[in-house]
Amino acid sequence: MDISFTGRHIEITDDMRAELTRKLDTALRIFQGIVRDVRVIVTKNTYLFELEVIVESRTHKTLTALASDKDYHTAVQQLEEKLEQQMRRLKEKVEDHHKHGRELAPDNA
């Protein structure tokens, strides 16, 4: 999986890239194999860091998480939590859909 980074009004350093990659890796590990593309946009306004992650999945769903804070590390932590929540919800939805398909198959036979 490749993560592309874009910086708006900020130069993304190697440390920033490493922290984002590490945090996103743990969030995306929840539902491995479904992620096709990940894009991260880091925007620096006057006093605020805005982070956005866009995850395209193999189920043709696009997950988007946004976080903003004065502190970069806090914004990254918020972004990780939001993405984890969305990944868990998607995983439950997909697994629940497959469980219902298996339960109905023996009754119809």
Nearest to 20 by CA among 79, 66, 81, 62: 79
pLDDT confidence bin for 95, thresholds 50/70/90: confident
Domain made up of 3-108: CATH architecture: 2-Layer Sandwich (3.30)
- 16-54 per-position pLDDT tens digit: 999 999 999 999 998 888 899 999 999 999 999 999 999
Q: How many CA atoms, within 13 angstroms, populate the side-chain half-sphere of residue 41?
A: 10
Helix, strand, or coil (residue 8): strand
Nearest to 51 by CA among 85, 5, 14: 5
Task: Please check the confidence at residue 13 and state whether its pLDDT lies above 70.
Answer: yes
Do residues 40 and 22 touch, judged by C-beta distance below 8 A?
no
Cα–chain center distance at 83:
4
% of the chain surpassing 70 pLDDT: 88
- Enumerate the domain spans of the chain: 3-108
Average pLDDT, the chain: 89
Cβ within 8 Å of residue 47, ≥6 positions away: 70
Q: Can you give the pLDDT at residue 108?
A: 54
